[in-house]
Amino acid sequence: MSVSTNDLKNGMALDLPAEGLVTVVEFQHVKPGKGGAFVRTKLKNVRSGGVLEKTFRADEKVPLAVIDKREMQYLYREGTAYVFMDTESYDQLHVDAGELGPAVRYLKEGGSAILPMYQGAVVGVDLPAAVELAVAETEPGIQGDRVSGARKPATLETGLVVQVPLFVESGERIKVDTRTGEYLARA
């Protein structure tokens, strides 16, 4: 199935022969004074997250990719695979850690995630903007040690290490931004 470059929309997925599976981040139709019109695009590689710029002729046909997004529940880890359960069919799916990328640092057992699938294979994971995680280990805060903006490292239940304010203690639950990996607030 293909689509004309004149009909591109932000978020649309394309399966380009050289670049692989990409989504359209932005596009611009350009009509120069002389010569043919063209479409300048910014594309994001679905698997690597890299962004590239590519120019197409106007009305050029490009292969459209239909990505099926499924809501899954993360159950447990088995070796290097993460086991998810489809919330509708209850089918279990084993996904290799490499296919999930850096998102594995935010997955906790029982948590939900959206898994985009293309041709039966998982091509990443869509997480909520922030997740709640428990602090597994951090240095205790010292009474009177309240320097404004001071931070200390804390290891979370998933193994992720984030910088937290001095008042955060082991066992507390905190909110972490999944895009930047930064502490947001106590939960």
pTM as predicted: 0.67
What are the pLDDT digits (tens) for 139-174? 876 655 566 677 888 888 888 888 888 888 888 888
- Of 43, 46, 49, 48, which is closest to residue 62 (Cα–Cα)? 43
Percent of the chain with pLDDT over 70: 95
Looking up tokens 């091509």 gives 123
For the chain, the average pLDDT equals 84
Domain with CATH 2.30.30.30 in the chain: 2-63
Domain range 130-186, its CATH number among 1.10.3720.10, 3.40.50.300, 2.40.50.140, 3.20.20.80: 2.40.50.140
> Does residue 14 register a pLDDT over 80?
yes
Please give the average per-residue pLDDT across 8-13, as a whole number: 86
Q: Is 115 exposed, middle or buried (0-12, 13-18, 19+ CB in 10 A)?
A: buried
pLDDT of residue 42: 92
Q: Distance (Å, rounded) from C-alpha 29 to C-alpha 55?
A: 10
Q: Distance (Å, rounded) from C-alpha 100 to C-alpha 97?
A: 5
CATH-assigned architecture of domain 68-122 = Beta Barrel (2.40)
pLDDT of residue 144: 59
> Does residue 2 register a pLDDT over 70?
yes
What are the pLDDT digits (tens) for 101-115? 777 888 888 888 888
pLDDT of residue 147: 63
pLDDT of residue 53: 92
pLDDT of residue 148: 67
Domain with CATH 2.40.50.140 in the chain: 68-122, 130-186
The pairing of beta strand 68-78 with beta strand 61-63: unpaired
CATH class assigned to 2-63: mainly beta
Compute the chain's Rg from CA coordinates.
21
